A and B are shown apart, each in its own frame.
Chain A
Amino acid sequence: MTDGDWRPKIIAIICNWCSYAGADLAGGARIQYPPDVRAIRVMCTGRVDPLFIMKAFQDGADGVLVSGCHFGDCHYLEGNYKCAKRMFLVKNVLKNIGINDKRLRMTFVSASEGAKWGMVMEDVVKTVKELGPSPLTERKN
């Protein structure tokens, strides 16, 4: 399977205040990026339960992105710190069950960083494409 005909399934859970606004700004600026990521909006990355990520991989996601505010900028003071801590945990779990932890990414994109959102999208898609389909989907099929 070549890069050209396989499109990864990537889910992004992003916070309402920074990353979602940054993604909107990328739209306003007409920054083009690959259409392989589907965003789910939560109020804060603090809401991201590690089980959501495990569920996404179980369902066959090839990559998961969690994106929130920069440290110190959280609309809810410290939800992003707490999310980041959990992401370390989830990465460890992923490694232990044989999923490359690069499939999970946490980024920090502020409401003013439309261009950065575009770069994150490019990079996440590129990383996941290099890794290929998730081993869980292969096993399932």
Chain B
Amino acid sequence: MAENQEPRIGVFICHCGTNIAGSLDVNAVMEYARSLPNVVVADEYQYMCSTPGQNKIIDAEKDYDLTGVVVAACSPRLHEPTFRTATAEGGLNKFRFEMANIRDQNSWVHMHDWEGATEKAKDQVRIAVAKARLLEDLQPKSVPVEHAAMVVGAGVGGMQAALDLANAGIKTYLVEKDPTIGGRMSQLDKTFPTLDCSQCILTPKMVDAGRHPNIILETYTEVENVEGYIGNFDITLRKKARGTRDGAEMVAAGLEGSGCNGCGDCASVCPVIKPNPFEMGMAPRKAIYIYHPQVMPLQYTIDFDACVKCGLCKDICGTEKNAIDLEMTDSLEKVKVGCVILATGYDLIPIEDKTEWGYRRYENVITGLEFERLICASGPTGGHLIRPSDGETPMKVGFVLCAGSRDNTGGVGKPYCSRFCCMYSLKHAHQIMEKIPGAVPYLFYMDIRSFGKMYEEFYYRIQNEGAKFIRGRVAAIEEDPITKNLYVQTEDTLLGRPVNVECNLVVLAAAIQPKPDAERIRQMFGVSKSQDGWYLEAHPKLNPCGTTTAGIFLAGVCQGPKDIPDTVAQAEGAASAASIPIHQGEVQLEPYFAQCVEDLCAGCGMCVPQCPYGALSLIQKDDRQVMTVTEAKCKGCGTCGGFCPGGAIRMQHFTSPQICAQIDSFLLNPLGGEE
């Protein structure tokens, strides 16, 4: 707008069908808008976000020579980009658009207060117009995007995302805190409903990920620090001391020797025995170990917490390989990537805290994951399902579904459905009937949620095979101290009577929760969480792979419980979304960075420590000190602007006059907003 031109604002009120028009008087709001100073046109439409709705904006800009556009509709978090595009199409700078949120923050929350909602909508429009009068042309800053990506977590979701990115020609760091990739899926025996062997379908993927020229495997590595923004994330990785080196690392370290080839001689002589977490603690491992034979990379790792540094492993490894370094320490590595996909997975909840079910108190109460290892041919028992107390084959196995899921009692349980436990319990039931002739599974369930393709059919199949279904939440499990059998007590809600079933083994389909370090990772990457601690997607329907932090995407269970197909599908979506800015090569950032009004700046420097990004500094200009902003570092939070005692910092698009105008216009009718 020219300096001295009076603002000419167009206001457009959306009905959103009846979402808005059903709870407040759209026409009254439109008439009111027409009465506001500087408003030269006000209109309404059924759906402003539709093409005809947007055309109203485009046409009005031309017909009325508008300097600003206000749309009163839903949330700017949903449709600000839509209307900004329309504003730009009409010929105005897209930052000359302001939105009044009369749906999410008005009609939907005041559905039974027609007058209150209408009055509020008028105020919201007035506030928006007050700001729109003062909006100015801004140029988005364009930053180059690093042609590289990072995936945090190398379970099936992380691996899929990394493979997709790598196949799209993007250098991808696949970061995994464990010594091997593969994640939870590699612990599973079979997958429902097809009964594929989990390792058989996963291991080739692990090999693909390990061998892909565009994938840099960073196993036994944690994210230490994150700086930067979309296109330019500077990430510090902590490569935990592994105690061994592979061939490439030997070369890099300038050491003689071929490095670890996974022969395992070291483990055979290691005197320290620890439980193997991969086998859910049911099998031993040495202090120098691999989780299982198919690990990727096939390289031994020393658990330095357990290692006694006796040196036997180093001796047997010999000088030719020279792979072992007992003095190895963590090292830090800095990498720069354009986008990041988080795929940090899940843990089981501490189901022993549900004391009524006796997990960890009764030997024969196990979790679903322990069952997976016990039934797996490569597991600790070679695939023989035995009960832990005496090694006997269980003939009656109880499955407690919703063990901690859909549990609103507070405390240990989780209110949500963990989503795959019904299906794996059905699978477990099938497996024992298949492996142990005459064995009977009892499934204690609340609902059976067989929600996926071919899942309901699988449910029928297990029913027909002879599994017993008892509907009711298990109240208590008690052990017969002599036989170690378990009495599962519940009410059969279909028969309306209490039941008490004697089982040889009980499997708890424990609820799942985010990983313990999910919180730390989330905070580092600036991602929100939902109430249960799962990472929060940008929009549950329209942007399920994205987050509100540009350049950070989500895959798999870290976003919420899901099974393997859903995880893989989301991973592919996340990889696709992450590859867009990388392939475009540059992204436009909203130009909300701070500016220093040098005439007002006293050079006091109080703003400098306010900035968390170190974007501000003092410089010598002519004969005095003034503050200067490094635009590329500024993220536009405005913390400096909220603090500057001299009012010398100008936060673009959120300037003090603009915010004051909004405050004034609400409190002093009709439009305030002096400088």
Contacts and interface: CB of A to CB of B under 8 A. Distances in A.
B638 A42 contact: yes
A27 B548 contact: no
Contacts of B639: 44, 46-47, 76, 78-79, 82-83
B110 interface: yes
A27 B108 contact: yes
A47 B638 contact: yes
A52 B666 contact: no
A20 interface: yes
A41 B105 CA distance: 12
A9 B120 CA distance: 11
Interface in B178-198: none
Interface string B120-146: 100110010000000000000000000
Contacts of B651: 47
Output the residue of A30, A38, A48 with the most chain B CB within 10 A. A38
A18 B528 contact: yes
A38 B523 contact: no
Interface string B639-669: 1011100000001001010011011101110
B119 interface: yes
A99 to B, nearest CB: 15
A76 B104 contact: no
A69 B459 CA distance: 44
A23 B108 CA distance: 11
B111 interface: yes
A59 interface: yes
Given A35-B119, A59-B668, A76-B637, A110 B528 contact: yes
Contacts of B536: 111-112
A47 B634 CA distance: 13
A32 B111 contact: yes
A55 B663 contact: yes
A40 interface: yes
Contacts of A40: 127, 659, 662-663
Contact of A23 (B104, B112, B656): B104
Interface in A18-62: 18, 20-21, 23-24, 26-28, 30-36, 38-44, 46-52, 55-56, 59-61
Give chain B's interface residue range (CB within 8 Å of chain A): 35 or more
B75 to A, nearest CB: 5
Given A33-B109, A35-B120, A21 B612 contact: no
Output the residue of B103, B592, B660 with the most chain A CB within 10 A. B660
B635 interface: yes
B667 A60 contact: yes
Given A9-B667, A76-B637, A111-B548, A32 B110 contact: yes
Contacts of B637: 43-44, 46-47, 75-76, 79
Contact of B660 (A24, A48, A52, A83): A52
Contacts of B643: 46, 49, 82, 86
B664 A59 contact: yes
Nearest to A61: B667
Contacts of B383: none
Contact of A86 (B612, B638, B642, B672): B642
Contact of B612 (A56, A60, A77): A77
A51 B592 CA distance: 21
A71 B38 CA distance: 41
A60 B106 CA distance: 22
A48 B642 contact: yes
Contacts of B526: 75, 77
Nearest to A42: B654
B5 interface: no
Contact of A42 (B106, B119, B659, B668): B659
Contacts of A41: 76
A118 B656 CA distance: 28
Contacts of B612: 76-79
B104 A27 contact: yes
A101 interface: no
A47 B77 contact: no
A86 B610 CA distance: 12
Nearest to A48: B642
A112 B529 CA distance: 7
Contacts of A31: 109
Contacts of A112: 528-531, 536
Interface string B526-548: 10111100001000000000001
A5 to B, nearest CB: 13
A47 B119 contact: no
B105 A24 contact: yes
B117 interface: yes
Contacts of A36: 116
B548 A28 contact: no
Interface string B461-487: 000000000000000000000000000
B434 interface: no
A41 B110 CA distance: 20
Contact of A27 (B103, B528, B635): B103
B549 interface: yes
Given A42-B638, A43-B636, A111-B528, A24 B667 contact: no
Contacts of A76: 612-613, 635, 637, 639
A17 interface: yes
A30 to B, nearest CB: 6
B113 interface: yes
A52 B663 contact: yes
A83 B610 CA distance: 11
A47 B653 CA distance: 12
B661 to A, nearest CB: 10
Given A21-B77, A47-B637, A112-B530, A38 B642 contact: no
A79 B651 CA distance: 14
Nearest to B549: A75
Contacts of B592: 43
B117 to A, nearest CB: 6
A69 to B, nearest CB: 8
10 contacts: A11-B667, A20-B75, A24-B105, A32-B109, A38-B124, A42-B654, A56-B667, A73-B523, A77-B613, A110-B528
Interface of B: 75-78, 101, 103-106, 108-113, 116-117, 119-120, 123-124, 127, 523, 526, 528-531, 536, 548-549, 592, 610, 612-613, 635-639, 641-643, 651, 654, 656, 659-660, 662-664, 666-668, 672
Interface of A: 7, 9, 11, 13, 16-18, 20-21, 23-24, 26-28, 30-36, 38-44, 46-52, 55-56, 59-61, 72-73, 75-79, 82-83, 86, 110-113, 118, 121
